[in-house]
């Protein structure tokens, strides 16, 4: 194996077309992200068929740009990687098929990467000395998992959502408040001017000792609150609703992550995924981590949301472990981490 391994990584699991060149796992030479948010905004969420079409239109341009801005050519690349799941099947297929075709035609090894593993790996890029084990909350539009990261390719899922993902809950409440898509950053911004104690929305901590999540009860409580105000023709303070809703979500996420990290005697509690950008989640987690004697880490916002650099990083650790995927590997929309 070469000591200077350059991976071309591709990510197309949802609504970002992304390609990156990553050297030796943690050095990002380029990370190009073409977002489809403006296209999906008018529909209030991601339309899978539209996402696939947009990936198809953009993928070659994004790859060319990733190579160019890294200052490399295909002859300098050692491994090609792509997200193979979980995600939207039609969207995944565009990146995966492209990666397999490039690897095959250039006689390079190909590695399929789990998208959730990629989110976790974003922490290695940001924190150059970080090594497993550590405990990580992966909270995005599609997943809410508490993971004990045992090794670079070895995971124990301690808890997961039983209904909506955290980001999904943010997106749905933002829509109900008329804020637009994606809802997480908009609620985060609006909540800054609201009172997080204004409305006591329910927190689902579930059974004693459970690391699972449930956000459907909270979502219904917010929708009921909005409807009852409307029926009574009463004014709604949307900033207070946003702040109180955000407080209920981040209270549960941060409490469970710290408890899980204590349970595993982890030195670090890490955040990953789009929701990891949430300012209140970061703040609460810092406070609670400090009280518990646990170091709290998270990637910068650009590495929290979907990007190919995190896929290149995860692929590197698979590669040095001796993993190589077969060209028959298909997209797996519900791929699990364990
Ligand atoms: O990881 P990601 O880019 O895509 C998935 O794998 O799903 O996460 C996107 C999700 C969206 O639901 C978005 O609303 C949420 O992350 N998000 C946030 C924030 N920024 C993005 N949620 C709460 N607060 C934020 N600041
Ligand atoms: Zn994601």
Q: Assess whether pLDDT exceeds 90 at residue 35.
A: no
Query: Domains in the chain: how many in total?
Result: 2
Residue of higher predicted confidence among 41 and 200: 200
Task: Decide if 330 is inside a domain.
Answer: no
Percent of the residues in the chain that have a pLDDT greater than 90, as a whole number: 92
For residue 2, name the pLDDT band (cuts at 50, 70, 90). Answer: low
Domain residues for the domain of 112 are 6-121+304-320
Residues 168 and 222 in one domain: yes
For ligand 1, pick from 15, 180, 275, 285 the residue to mutate: most ligand atoms within 8 Å of CB.
275
Here the CATH number for the domain that contains residue 313 is 3.30.420.40
175 and 93 in one domain?
A: no
Q: Within 6 Å (CB) of ligand 1, which residues are found?
A: 14, 140-142, 167, 170-171, 182-185, 188, 273-275, 277-278, 305-306
Looking at the fold, whether 236 and 259 belong to one and the same domain comes out as yes
Are 212 and 78 in a shared domain?
no
Which residue's CA is the nearest one to ligand 1's atom 21?
Answer: 274
Residue 1 has pLDDT above 80, yes or no: no
pLDDT tens-digit map of 67-125: 999 999 999 999 999 999 999 999 999 999 999 999 999 999 999 999 999 999 999 99
Instruction: Quick: pLDDT tens for 150-177.
Output: 999 999 999 999 999 999 999 999 999 9
pLDDT over 80 at 3, yes or no: no
* Residues 166 and 272 both lie in one domain: yes
Query: How many residues are present in the chain?
Result: 338
Residues 254-277 have pLDDT tens digits of 999 999 999 999 999 999 999 999
For residues 114-140, average pLDDT = 98
Q: Model-level pTM?
A: 0.96
Give me ligand 1 centre to Cα 270, in Å.
Answer: 16
Instruction: Let me know if residue 325 belongs to a domain.
Output: no
Average pLDDT, the chain: 96
* Ramachandran category for residue 77: left, alpha or beta (phi over 0 → left; psi -120 to 50 → alpha): beta
pLDDT at 233: 97
The pLDDT score that the predictor gives to residue 43 is: 83
**Span from the CA of 305 to the centroid of ligand 1 (angstroms):** 6
pLDDT of residue 27 exceeding 70:
yes
In this structure, how many other beta carbons lie within 10 angstroms of the beta carbon of residue 298? Answer: 25
Are residue 80 and residue 160 in the same domain, yes or no? no
- Classify residue 327: in a domain, yes or no: no
Percentage of the residues of the chain whose pLDDT score is greater than 70: 99
Residues 184 and 251 both lie in one domain: yes
Whether 239 is covered by a domain: the verdict is yes
Q: Indicate if 200 and 260 belong to the same structural domain.
A: yes
**Domain match, 176 and 88 both:** no
Q: Are residues 225 and 292 in the same domain?
A: yes
Q: What is the pLDDT of residues 49-82, one digit of tens each?
A: 888 999 999 999 999 999 999 999 999 999 999 9
Same domain assignment for residues 205 and 276: yes
Considering every ligand atom shown, identify the ligand nearest to the alpha carbon of residue 279 and give its number.
1
Atom 10 (ligand 1) nearest CA: 141
* Listed residue (52, 122, 88) closest to 307, CA to CA: 122
The answer to whether residues 195 and 256 belong to one domain is yes
SS (H, E, C) the chain: CCCCCEEEEEECCCCEEEEEEEECCCEEEEEEEEECHHHHHCCCCCCHHHHHHHHHHHHHHHHHHHHHHHCCCHHHCCEEEEEEECCCHHHHHHHHHHHHHHHHHCCCCEEEEEHHHHHHHHHHHHCCCCCCCEEEEEECCCCEEEEEEEECCEEEEEEEECCCCHHHHHHHHHHHCCCCCCHHHHHHHHHCCCCCCCCCCCCCCCCCCCCCECCHHHHHHHHHHHHHHHHCCCCCCHHHHHHHHHHHHHHHHHHHHHHHHHHCCCCEEEEECHHHHCHHHHHHHHHHHHHHCCEEECCCHHHHCCCHHHHHHHHHHHHHCCCCCCCCCCCCCCCCCC
Q: What are phi and psi of 92, to 5 degrees?
A: -55, -45
6, HSE (Cβ side, Cα atoms, 13 Å): 15
């Amino acid at each position: 194996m070469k000591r200077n391994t350059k991976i071309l990584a591709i990510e197309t699991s949802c609504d970002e077309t992304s390609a990156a060149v990553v050297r030796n796992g943690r050095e990002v030479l380029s990370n190009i992200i073409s977002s489809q948010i403006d296209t999906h905004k008018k529909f209030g969420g991601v339309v899978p068929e539209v996402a696939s079409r947009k990936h198809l239109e953009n993928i070659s341009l994004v790859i060319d740009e990733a190579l160019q801005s890294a200052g490399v050519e295909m002859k300098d690349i050692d491994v090609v990687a792509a997200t193979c799941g979980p995600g939207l099947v039609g969207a995944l297929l565009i990146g995966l098929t492209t990666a397999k075709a490039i690897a095959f035609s250039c006689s390079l090894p190909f590695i399929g990467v789990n998208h959730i593993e990629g989110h976790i790996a974003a922490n290695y890029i940001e924190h150059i000395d970080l090594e497993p084990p550590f405990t990580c909350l992966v909270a995005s539009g599609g997943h809410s998992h508490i993971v004990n990261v045992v090794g670079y390719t070895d995971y124990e899922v301690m808890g997961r959502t039983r209904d909506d993902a955290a980001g999904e809950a943010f997106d749905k409440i933002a829509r109900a408040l008329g804020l637009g898509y994606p809802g997480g950053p908009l609620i985060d911004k609006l909540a800054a001017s609201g009172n997080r104690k204004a409305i006591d929305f329910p927190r689902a901590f579930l059974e004693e000792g459970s690391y699972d999540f449930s956000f459907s009860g909270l979502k219904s409580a917010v929708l009921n609150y909005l409807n009852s105000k409307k029926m009574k023709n009463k004014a709604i303070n949307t900033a207070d609703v946003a702040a109180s809703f955000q407080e209920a979500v981040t209270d549960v996420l941060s409490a469970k992550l710290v408890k899980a990290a204590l349970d595993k005697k982890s030195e670090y509690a890490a955040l990953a995924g789009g929701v990891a950008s949430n300012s209140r989640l970061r703040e609460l987690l810092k406070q609670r981590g400090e009280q518990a004697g646990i170091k709290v880490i998270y990637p910068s916002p650009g590495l929290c949301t979907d990007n190919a650099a995190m896929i290149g990083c995860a692929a590197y650790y698979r590669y040095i472990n001796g993993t190589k995927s077969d060209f028959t590997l298909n997209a797996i929309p519900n791929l699990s981490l364990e």
